[in-house]
Structure 1
């Protein structure tokens, strides 16, 4: 029996991983086809994207006769490109609004809360999975500055939930279900980046606050099966798991550490800037655009297409853009003259504009009501900035080849590799926006397989983290949890030096064990929306008897009238009679009965118990009463209570003083105390200072731009 149970755990994790890999491969194939459909079509087969249509043509396939642009005129191609982007975004937003509203957004924030014990019914259901899987390729192909990696985690957790729900061992245990969800989140990142170990570390570093060795192995198996399935399907027909996977065989030099520090500073500043202003956009969206989700998505996609068409690095798909920026110039790495010395400053300008425009588009696009992630957009921003820096460093080397700074390059013609700077810039931006360190190092290592660039990656991420810590910013997932008001406790523990009695609610709604009638309970349910009621003795001493969920009370009151005549004056009791103890064992032996209808109690079983307890003139609720609720003493430190919430995930903890109920505490009570009562340490750079510096930068930039335009006008007039 034990062997079967242990085998079932591995089977469920492996099966979920296989399904996640298949789904990821299909999404990648459809996304590539839709993205190329905006640019043209294949005469050999309408279902082929440009890569497969021109499979026999090496390079960028400009000489492919089978691929036909929509028109030889660039203005017509621009219009068709914009129309496709608008249609894709409209379709995705309309499906999300009409069928599955939970399919919108990234999903990482919500998954973190669900793994932490927060219940969101329907968030991991089949409808959410189907709509998000179907609309995600449309959103990416529309050109919106959002990514599919965050939504891939949500879709993976939906698959894990659906697969595990087929097995009663998981459907009846929230703890085991959270293990599968943690493993599925690892698989979602693994297939997104082709990084199974990075996926496991992501689930440890970002998703789960309590991570056991057993869960780690489940995550490893799930991620491994997902990656192996994706590799077997080979969606890109290149042998690579992701489109921007590269291999570097050149070494780096110590003078480049200065550039690595610059990239790290950029990553930290980028994360702080985007998180701050994206939250302001989210507040504006909630206040003014909540009723127009489809119009907003279409408008954003249209603006992105109209503006992005004129920049070569925004016009193409972000993953394809990164695959170009990561390449070395040797071995066919030149794209649109990116490696040509004569075009280097034109390329620098193009990369700079792509960086600035993409940052603005990410700020206003992330959070709109379509599947939207921020991993790849951030990496694309870091890649354009890093490649720009790489080209500038290479130009500096060509201008001053005998400088002492480049002394080690005397014998190396190809001393500077701009593609590696794009790679490190992508790592810095991803770390800056998510505040991840070890996970990003491992993901980047698995993308390149180059041990030589582990140390530069660590240097860049260390600087990024230092800048982020100095600015006092958190990852965007944590900030969105706070913005949405989800009851989630941070992983970092602080010493509050207060007992739980200072945080608990004293004015609580209780139910006496006897003396109530049906009308009284109906009034209690109608007058409050709390999720449960403590049961206390009816003699006025306040002795704690148990706890009953609101859903159970509603379930019994709805079912009992079908058994016998229950009037509003029928007495109610929450205590067992002496002869009812046999029925108590019935309540314990029936799986799922403790949570009532919330976990799918069989209606026939419920009716059978109600027939037993609905004795004449008394309606008894005792089979649904939790007689051993989680209780603590008022003197218990708040830190211990927070650990109980994190490790056990209860909805409420009762405060009991010598068997007398004195209060209760929820996660929201703890969060309210940490926000209002405890004064957080002031960041060395607070919001006002941050806004002031941004305003100064904007004023300076606007002034220089205005002076430049005036100069150009004067030159043209001459």
Structure 2
């Protein structure tokens, strides 16, 4: 082909909507097209020395940083507004401000110097009904009523207006950044409903936080703003960097931790994190936290959410308690993950048609149980600030009774019940259709977060940016290492990774698998192909109608199976539609997929009696220039682990298996995941750490219970040698 024809073909390819919903991005092809786009811009600028060309090149250079700045500012503004509204809704459950109903209790009573001073401007609901001052039963009733109303409204808005706004969103964001297309998940309407729903869900005092939804909302902001620029609409690679930076900013505004947000994006969200992505994430998180601090939603004037002053050094004997807290964090995470996945499976099976009723019942039960316990009644942000503080130097401060030495037994009981009920609440609530003493409380919070998410480095930084303290950095590191080790003993991966597997998303985690088998064990050998020698449009229509494959290998013919290239499904549909309009192609028209157009007859502009464009002496249509002539190919004997690394690092949609120029099969990410699940399900209990650990615990409990009841019975017996041999087969 001539140079002009090649350029025209490439420009047409760039305009094709190549990725359909719930498909996987081919990062290799996307990178090729992005390099072509950049070279085209620079070549056009070099040939044009006008001021417009100079401005275009300058804007092209700084466009990314402009977008990152806009995204960070919008994320910070949105987070501040959500914090203000959430605080007001949380307090409205208990009363209202008489002179300004839009103020929460803190701002209504801003001039009160001491916590125990009476605020005449704040009116409890019992006073509003003239039934007495702060009557317990009336206050409890209004608390339950408002909490149930908030959760029900949130679930209704999500179900009717934005189904993608449900849940945390971190699992889906990880898959989207990895290259899985989910249209609408990061749309503007999802952002609006998520923002409104999050304020109501958190204010309803359900056992959820705003960290996961903050990441989802931040990525929605990044997607909405960046799509206003052509550079990001046409490049999935550029969009991936914006979404990674947005996720960092989301964590930054949720915790007031910009550096922790960047580390979170590196450790948890993105499998590809080059230096340019790190700088964009850092800049976006910085801008977001600057705007958040300027908005000052908590009126503290500080970015640190829970300012504490731990002035005592830790002692060597405290290592024992640090390890205990780490073990607790690992067990807590394993318990929450296991039983929350079990609840999620029940939800999908029995409750998927009743999301609003489920949210209403969860809020009703949670509020009924939470109100009598002061450590559950208060907003989570407020109670965390209380638990992180030290009692020394807190004269006149109540701290919800935490520092009253005369009520130690009562406080311990309330804390234990709050821990137990919050754990059960988290298990039941995470994934529902609504939006999800000082130093030892500090370590316990870090251990719990690490146990559920299975992240370590970013948690350390987040906790110290939360509190402004670095004195306990070594105990925190030890706690998180123990937590991670205990949690991984029950099974690798945090709750976000488990939800990815539960929902069946095509995502390969960073875990190293060892199978010792060639890729031919996983490949699809019965492959639908396109023949370069020619196919009729009727044959192509039949393949497109009866298959849902995302692409088709192109071979010379079905007898030789000599590999020519690869054609994506979306490109093929586009070309077929265009050929019918431009070339007047019909069912009997022959379509060729040859890359060497010189072998075909010279194209002419003559038209036959039926109105069809004639190419030489035939009505052939040539799709050859649109065939990807350099698909990623490997030998069938290549180890599966190497192919998995290629999927992780290069990001192709499909890898073809070629032997001496002959196509023998293909493999996709889904094929690899199916094989991983198959191998895990066929392991014996001795090879599966999670199964073995849980089996041992359940056996220990059953044995002890049997001794007390006098009827010892072995529930989970070890498999026999014959059973083990069968399981290996």
Normalised to the residue count of structure 1, the TM-score between the two structures is: 0.83
* Structure 2 Cα separation of the partners of residues 480 and 15 of structure 1: 31
CA contact (8 A) 1:145 1:365 kept: yes
Root-mean-square deviation (CA), in Å?
A: 2.8
CA contact (8 A) 2:565 2:631 kept: yes
- Who is 2:696 aligned against? 689
* Structure 1 Cα separation of the partners of residues 178 and 349 of structure 2: 29
- Who is 1:219 aligned against? 281
Deviation at 1:203, TM superposition (A): 1.0
CA contact (8 A) 2:489 2:693 kept: no
Query: For each residue in 1:10-59, what CA deviation from the matched residue of structure 2 results, as whole angstroms up to 9, or x when unmatched?
Result: 32222211111111111111111111111111112111111111111134
Aligned pair in 2 of structure 1 residues 698, 95: CA closer, same or farther (>3 Å)?
A: farther
Aligned match for 1:117, one of 164, 176, 179: 179
SS at match of 2:448: helix
Aligned pair in 2 of structure 1 residues 700, 354: CA closer, same or farther (>3 Å)?
A: farther
Q: Please identify, of 142-151 and 528-537, the stretch whose mean Cα deviation from structure 2 is larger.
A: 528-537
Which residues of 2 match residues 13-24 of structure 1 at below 5 A? 13-24=68-79
Aligned pair in 2 of structure 1 residues 59, 618: CA closer, same or farther (>3 Å)?
A: farther
Aligned match for 2:91, one of 16, 33, 36: 36
Deviation at 1:649, TM superposition (A): 1.9
* Structure 1 Cα separation of the partners of residues 641 and 595 of structure 2: 36
CA contact (8 A) 1:151 1:371 kept: yes
Query: For each residue in 1:190-224, what CA deviation from the matched residue of structure 2 results, as whole angstroms up to 9, or x when unmatched?
Result: 11111111111111111122321221111111111
SS at match of 1:295: helix
- Who is 2:401 aligned against? 337
Aligned match for 1:353, one of 392, 400, 417: 417
Deviation at 1:69, TM superposition (A): 1.0
Matched, 1:52 2:112: no
CA contact (8 A) 1:246 1:447 kept: no
* Structure 1 Cα separation of the partners of residues 701 and 308 of structure 2: 36
Aligned pair in 2 of structure 1 residues 612, 683: CA closer, same or farther (>3 Å)?
A: farther
Matched, 1:186 2:248: yes
Aligned pair in 2 of structure 1 residues 237, 61: CA closer, same or farther (>3 Å)?
A: farther
Deviation at 1:695, TM superposition (A): 6.3
Deviation at 1:467, TM superposition (A): 1.7
* Structure 1 Cα separation of the partners of residues 240 and 615 of structure 2: 34
* Structure 1 Cα separation of the partners of residues 118 and 85 of structure 2: 24
* Structure 2 Cα separation of the partners of residues 250 and 45 of structure 1: 43
Aligned pair in 2 of structure 1 residues 558, 82: CA closer, same or farther (>3 Å)?
A: farther
CA contact (8 A) 2:595 2:629 kept: no
Deviation at 1:699, TM superposition (A): 9.6
CA contact (8 A) 2:597 2:624 kept: no
CA contact (8 A) 2:75 2:221 kept: yes
List runs of 5+ in structure 2 lacking aligned partners. Answer: 1-41, 43-56, 127-133, 604-611, 711-729
- Who is 1:595 aligned against? none
Which residues of 2 match residues 18-167 of structure 1 at below 5 A? 18-60=73-115, 63-71=118-126, 72-167=134-229
SS at match of 1:505: coil
Deviation at 1:246, TM superposition (A): 3.2
SS at match of 2:81: helix
CA contact (8 A) 2:373 2:414 kept: yes
Aligned pair in 2 of structure 1 residues 580, 514: CA closer, same or farther (>3 Å)?
A: closer
Which residues of 2 match residues 48-447 of structure 1 at below 5 A? 48-60=103-115, 63-71=118-126, 72-241=134-303, 243-329=305-391, 330-331=393-394, 332-372=396-436, 418-447=437-466
Aligned pair in 2 of structure 1 residues 333, 73: CA closer, same or farther (>3 Å)?
A: closer
Query: For each residue in 1:333-367, what CA deviation from the matched residue of structure 2 results, as whole angstroms up to 9, or x when unmatched?
Result: 43232211111111111111111111111111101
Matched, 1:465 2:496: no
* Structure 2 Cα separation of the partners of residues 623 and 155 of structure 1: 41
SS at match of 2:471: helix
- Who is 2:12 aligned against? none
CA contact (8 A) 2:325 2:479 kept: yes
Aligned pair in 2 of structure 1 residues 538, 463: CA closer, same or farther (>3 Å)?
A: closer
Q: Please identify, of 623-632 and 458-467, the stretch whose mean Cα deviation from structure 2 is larger.
A: 623-632
SS at match of 2:111: coil
- Who is 1:509 aligned against? 528
Query: For each residue in 1:475-529, what CA deviation from the matched residue of structure 2 results, as whole angstroms up to 9, or x when unmatched?
Result: 1111111111111111122343333222211111112224422222222122221
* Structure 2 Cα separation of the partners of residues 269 and 701 of structure 1: 25
Deviation at 1:139, TM superposition (A): 0.8
Aligned match for 1:12, one of 57, 63, 67: 67
List runs of 5+ in structure 1 lacking aligned partners. Answer: 373-417, 585-609, 704-718
CA contact (8 A) 1:324 1:333 kept: no
CA contact (8 A) 1:325 1:422 kept: yes
Which residues of 2 match residues 431-580 of structure 1 at below 5 A? 431-538=450-557, 540-563=559-582, 565-575=584-594, 578=597
* Structure 2 Cα separation of the partners of residues 61 and 12 of structure 1: 48
Deviation at 1:255, TM superposition (A): 2.6
Deviation at 1:702, TM superposition (A): 13
- Who is 1:644 aligned against? 646
Query: For each residue in 1:138-160, what CA deviation from the matched residue of structure 2 results, as whole angstroms up to 9, or x when unmatched?
Result: 11111111111011111111111
* Structure 2 Cα separation of the partners of residues 18 and 46 of structure 1: 29
- Who is 2:609 aligned against? none
Deviation at 1:70, TM superposition (A): 0.9
Aligned pair in 2 of structure 1 residues 616, 291: CA closer, same or farther (>3 Å)?
A: farther
SS at match of 2:202: helix
CA contact (8 A) 1:249 1:450 kept: no
